[in-house]
Amino acid sequence: MTATTATTAMNGTNKMDETTVTPEVAERGRQLVEAARQLFVAGVMSHSGHANLSVRVDAERFLLTPGFVRDLRPEQLAMVSLDGRVLAGELRSVSAEIIGMHSTVYRARPHVGAVIHTHSPAATAFAVAHRPLPCRTEPMLRFGQAEEVPVVAWGPRGSDVSVRGTAEILEQRPTTSAVLLANHGLLVFGPDSAATAQLVVAIEESAEAEIAAAALGGAVDFPEGALEDVRAAIARVSA
């Protein structure tokens, strides 16, 4: 897929018109930038700082970051269609490769509002080992991943093989909010940018804990009914 590059840029010298950058779209862009910042604050990013984040605008469009998101600014975001066209802003060819990764999730999960892909080191270790990450830490329960994170079979980044593999796992595992991309990294999705970033952090911390627990004889599963207990506790606090 070859993405076309539009000549306009969000909030830049050549601004998109007001029908494109509504106050709601601008706010979602700011939230996406803040989510990227929070990932660095939490220390879950790889040494390179590589990641790509997106937030849904409507049924057919989403905002997408460039490939490196350290010191990201709202004007760097591009408006992209689910069919792979860059409608406004600019994406380098290397970034255009990942449009399919994000659009596949948005197509499969109409309720998803944001998608984040990182190379978080501990989670990526599970992806490299082709090992699903079990749900054995309470933050994973609380932030939306009350099951193991499955592994998508390897395919070149952005290729039809990779995109089809992701789509197949999403169909097979309709309640998962994350997948591990074999030999690549982590892909997480949620209702909005902040919630999705929280789940990235929870998954990375859980992966670190799994690796550390292996030296102590291995991690242990939650008791039966743990998810229901956590939900009840949250409901009591929220009441």
The gap between the terminal CA atoms of the chain, to the nearest Å, is 49
Q: Hey, what CATH topology would domain 23-238 get?
A: L-fuculose-1-phosphate Aldolase (3.40.225)
Residue 50 DSSP one-character state: B
Contacts of 116 (CB under 8 A, 6+ apart): 35, 39, 51, 52, 53, 54, 187, 188, 189, 193, 196, 197, 200
Q: What is the pLDDT of residue 158?
A: 75
Report d(CA 70, CA 211) in Å as an integer.
27
Alpha helical stretches, state H, 51-178: 93-96, 99-108, 121-129, 138-142, 160-172
The residue with tokens 């948005």 is 106
pLDDT score of 20:
63
Going residue by residue through the chain, which has 239 residues, state the pLDDT in tens, using 9 for 90 and above: 333 333 333 333 334 454 567 899 999 999 999 999 999 999 999 999 889 999 999 999 999 998 678 899 999 999 999 998 999 988 877 677 789 999 999 999 999 999 999 999 999 999 999 999 999 999 998 898 999 999 999 988 878 888 999 999 999 999 999 999 999 999 999 999 999 999 999 999 999 999 999 999 999 999 888 888 888 887 777 66
What Rg do the C-alpha atoms of the chain give, in angstroms?
A: 18
pLDDT of residue 50: 87
Which pLDDT does position 38 carry in this prediction?
97
pLDDT for res 5 = 34
Q: For residue 190, list its beta bridge partners.
A: 114
Q: What is the pLDDT of residue 6?
A: 34
For residue 129, the model assigns a pLDDT of: 98
58 contact partners, CB below 8 Å, separation of at least 6: none
Structure confidence at residue 8 (pLDDT):
34
